[in-house]
Chains A and B, each alone.
Chain A
Amino acid sequence: MLLSLMIFIPLLGMVAVLLLPRESEELVKRVTLLITLIPLALAVALFISYDRSAAGTQYVVNVPWISAFNIQYHVGIDGLSVTLLLLTALLGPICVIASWRNIEKGIKAYMALFLLLETGMLGFFASLDLFLFYVFFELTLLPMYFLIGVWGGPRREYAAIKFFLYTLFGSVLMLVAMIAVYLSSGAPGARTFDIPTLITLASTQGHALNNLDFQIWVFLGFFIGFAVKVPIFPFHTWLPDAHVEAPTAISVILAGILLKMGTYGLVRINMAMFPQGMDFFCNGTGTWGNSLALLGFINIVYGSFCALAQTDFKKLVAYSSIGHMGFVILGLAARNTEGVTGAILQMFNHGVISGMLFLLVGVLYDRAHHREINGFGGLGAKMPVYTGITTLAFMASLGLPGLSGFVGEALSLLGAYDKFKMLTILSTIGIVVGAAYFLWTLQRVFLGTLNPKYEALPEINGREILTLAPLAILTIVLGVWPNFAIDMFRESVTNLVNILQAI
């Protein structure tokens, strides 16, 4: 009940916001903020009350929905989903505050769409029925299309439709795979979309789902759907466009949550439901045995080098995201406790850190109205607080020990080294390049002589600090005390690794 409340409160909030008068913009913002605080409170409550020693799903609600096809409204949380739910609920109010001043037109529609997006994301992470999972997955598409397309930058139309087409292409392949799984799950009448049931069936000897060929094909269907979201090379080209054009808060959501939907899907569906398919692509032997790890490696190195070449601050952060998601893929490909733990931790950390980075880019853009890295210089003296927070975010992102980024990446690499020695060693190039582009950016923007144009640039204000502070605190806390998060999903990971090793 608590969980359903959390998912649907933003949806009800959307209706409430739409009913408010168009002129009262302040009221709209306040109401939206209030609404997004409720899921946050609920997420914190779930986070605290979640039984960390149990491996199964908790807070389960399971009621029939479309009984003709055994589709259920089945939601519940395990350690992985509760972590991502917390991240989603946390970024909600932060993004509302971040949109406070810089959304100029149609604030009511903007907030309403944002709330719809939040329902989609929360529902996605809580779904335990494949059909429901898909519906929520797609539900995020529409609001995102409008949020980028209406409130974005100069090339917003192109970016929005590109994002939409790419994701839809991925998800229709996923739809085929989903129907195939449903049809193979049993005799007519006994078919099911229930994720836990399907996971059990897929590891039952002799069941149609427990077949290598079948698993490889459906694995691919789901994989492409999720790979577009992550994004995994070569499906990544929508991301820089979407990020550059999206308004700040939407970039935060895009990097913080939407990319995680891809990796979450990989864990929840591809790994847990198709362990044999996963094995085929990750066992290190045969033509395809290294493919997933190889994709992770390409993401890391390619993303990092692309980031190094950028002169647009936001594009740099966008490409760095591609690089950092590579660590998640690499960690998952390892299929051991360290790798998977690292990957999940990296998902959470990347959500926090990239959220910070995009907010920081937004702060600068709101003042200077451009993002050209070479156009700044010497801001350190002008905006010391801003410089401090940016440095913290950069350091966290490049993986400085003591900050959260380090733990996730280190664990992912540790896990992967066990299975893919050469690729792991080569992947560390990404870390070096990552340090290079962040430090170089730091130097170009904050050090040196101040560009006289920015003599009067105001320091970061209280509202902006309010959006950054919770994320900065989390970065430090998770850096020194990663078990704070790892404890949450330790049992779920053990469970998953058991499934993966049982084949």
Chain B
Amino acid sequence: MQPLSNIESLLYFIPELLLVIFAIAVILVDLGVKNRESATVAYLSLVGVGCVFAAVLITHAQLGDKTAVSLFLGMIRLDTFSTFFKILLLLATAATILFSLRSEELDARLKGEYYALLLAISLGMFLMASSTNLLMIFISLETVSLTSYILAGFLTHNPRSSEAAFKYITFGAVASGTMLFGLSFLFGMTGTGDLGQISTRLTELLAAGEVYSLAVLIAIIFVLAGVGYKIASVPFHMWSPDVYEGAPIPITAFLSVASKSAGFALFIRFFYSGFSSAEVMQSVDWTLMLAIVSALTMTVGNLAALPQQNVKRLLAYSSIAHGGYLLMGGVLLTSEGIGAILFYLVVYLFMNLGAFYVVVLIANEEGSEMVDGYRGLASRAPLVAGAMAIFLFSLTGIPPFAGFFGKWLLFAAVLEQGYYWLAFVGLLNSVVSLYYYARIVKAMYLEDSDEETTQSSFSTGTFALLSVFVIPTILIGFLNIFYTLSNISVSVIPMQ
């Protein structure tokens, strides 16, 4: 496939350009808005997300018969895989904007920057999902990281938020530095930044014995530091509980879903098209390492979640654990495994964002993020409690909710490759996770609130938004289309 030139590429780059335009527009419009309480910029960014969504679909339709086009002289690639992630990321962005609108913890004076940064971070994630060149990979990763640091520290009056931003940036800097070092190794060995060529060159070099497989392994480990930091896998997960707890809830929700998805997009594209050839897999044994990282990630996440009293922090650890489950699908880079990751990411988007939305609602109402604040919720607000229970059970992986189907695919992919011990670790982790998810359910249903029970009043809009997350969480597993969609998206990534 011949890469398109810079000018030709612009036609396929409209969604990204639109994101830039809207991010600037948000800042400009914000200058003109007198009333600080007004939600104009939020709606403007929502419109922006809507337009980008349309643009993504139209751009994808332009592909026609071709499965993919390579843009900007091979820097990024547009295919079903990247479109899949773009849609996923846009959904997460739209949800985050809506959460932010309803959340009461954000500073009204900083709205313009906030939404502009959200659109900017989406741009970075779009690029993460489509980069096929080492340089582009690093730039997109940094775009996302830098914006995340600011967003995590957005509660300027809250010291925890500043602490979160500071920890985030310290860890982030180390991780990106390490990754850059690894990328330079790869460039030095192969003389190219293009993932496809790296794969070909590595295969040749390894066959000819011209590079040490240990050097390749070290490069992989270094790169994993950067990717692992984005998906919060052990041992690069330390930042995430503090950041998730300190950041504004909508941002926490966004980071736990969108940032993780983009991280996995990068992970999959990088390893699947760069290192999955039989020769490389044979001489550089990194699957066992990934399997161990996956097992550790879910175990550490789940065990650390057990004693948490703060729901936001609990969900942060649970999100680490889910990163571990997702990694299981990537261990052997089979198309079933990758398909399972994509499917699980869709499910995870809905159930995790849904859970965070309930956290926003309760934080607004109770002013508390602690498990105790959920006591008696079932009698105060039965629908909200019911929705939360569905999200939590889906996160545990109990049928008939979508989380079960997602986990099922992941376990099947792992078992298919004979990694029995990993599947066992994963399943035992699911049982452990039930315990802490059920603690919230227990508080909502089995315990009574200390205060008099007054019916909480939530607006119709709240319920409508809640149902946007509940309905997919119930239905996705039963619909064929999502399985097909994730399989198609996998099939287009070039595999060597």
Contact = CB atoms under 8 A, between A and B. Distances in A.
A165 B431 contact: yes
Interface stretch (B34-42, B112-120, B159-167, B421-429): B421-429
Interface residues of B, number: 30
A109 B428 CA distance: 31
B446 A157 contact: yes
Interface stretch (A171-179, A378-386, A434-442): A171-179
A66 B412 contact: no
A261 to B, nearest CB: 15
Nearest to B432: A165
A179 B446 contact: no
A62 to B, nearest CB: 17
A288 interface: no
B404 A172 contact: no
Contacts of B67: none
Given A172-B431, A176-B415, A179-B415, A66 B480 contact: yes
Given A68-B480, A138-B399, A149 B412 contact: no
Most buried by A among B393, B399, B408: B399
Contacts of B106: none
B121 to A, nearest CB: 33
Contacts of B484: 68
A157 B480 CA distance: 38
B434 interface: yes
Interface string A138-182: 110110011001100000110011001100110011011001101
A173 B398 CA distance: 14
B3 interface: no
Contacts of B382: 109
Contacts of A287: none
A175 B431 contact: no
B412 A183 contact: yes
Interface string A50-75: 00000000000000011111000000
Interface in A158-210: 160-161, 164-165, 168-169, 172-173, 175-176, 179-180, 182-183
Contacts of B446: 149-150, 156-157, 160
B393 A175 contact: no
A417 interface: no
Contact of B411 (A138, A142, A176): A176
Contacts of A66: 478, 480, 483
B430 interface: yes
A161 B427 contact: no
Interface in B392-432: 393, 398-400, 404, 408, 411-412, 415-416, 420, 423-424, 427-428, 430-431
Q: Is the interface of A mostly helix, strand, loop or mixed?
A: helix
Nearest to A148: B446
A495 to B, nearest CB: 30
Given A139-B399, A149-B446, A157-B446, A164 B480 contact: no
Contact of B412 (A65, A109, A182): A182
A47 interface: no
A77 B399 CA distance: 23
Given A141-B398, A142-B393, A156-B446, A172 B427 contact: yes
Q: Which of B382, B423, B431 has the most CB of A within 10 A?
A: B431
A175 B404 CA distance: 11
A139 B446 CA distance: 20
A165 B442 CA distance: 14
Contacts of A134: 399
A135 interface: yes
Nearest to B397: A172
A149 B445 contact: yes
A180 B478 contact: no
A164 B400 contact: no
Interface in B445-487: 445-447, 478, 480, 483-484, 487
Contacts of B412: 179, 182-183
Nearest to B417: A183
Given A161-B438, A183-B416, A176 B480 contact: no
The 8 closest A-B CB pairs, nearest first, are A172-B427, A68-B483, A135-B399, A138-B399, A149-B446, A179-B412, A179-B415, A169-B431
17 contacts: A66-B478, A66-B483, A69-B483, A134-B399, A138-B399, A138-B404, A145-B438, A161-B435, A165-B431, A168-B431, A169-B431, A172-B428, A172-B430, A176-B420, A179-B412, A179-B423, A182-B412
Given A135-B399, A161-B442, A176-B424, 19 more contacts: A66-B478, A66-B480, A68-B484, A68-B487, A135-B400, A138-B399, A141-B398, A145-B438, A146-B445, A149-B445, A150-B445, A164-B438, A168-B430, A172-B427, A172-B431, A176-B415, A176-B423, A179-B408, A179-B411
Interface of A: 65-69, 109, 134-135, 138-139, 141-142, 145-146, 149-150, 156-157, 160-161, 164-165, 168-169, 172-173, 175-176, 179-180, 182-183
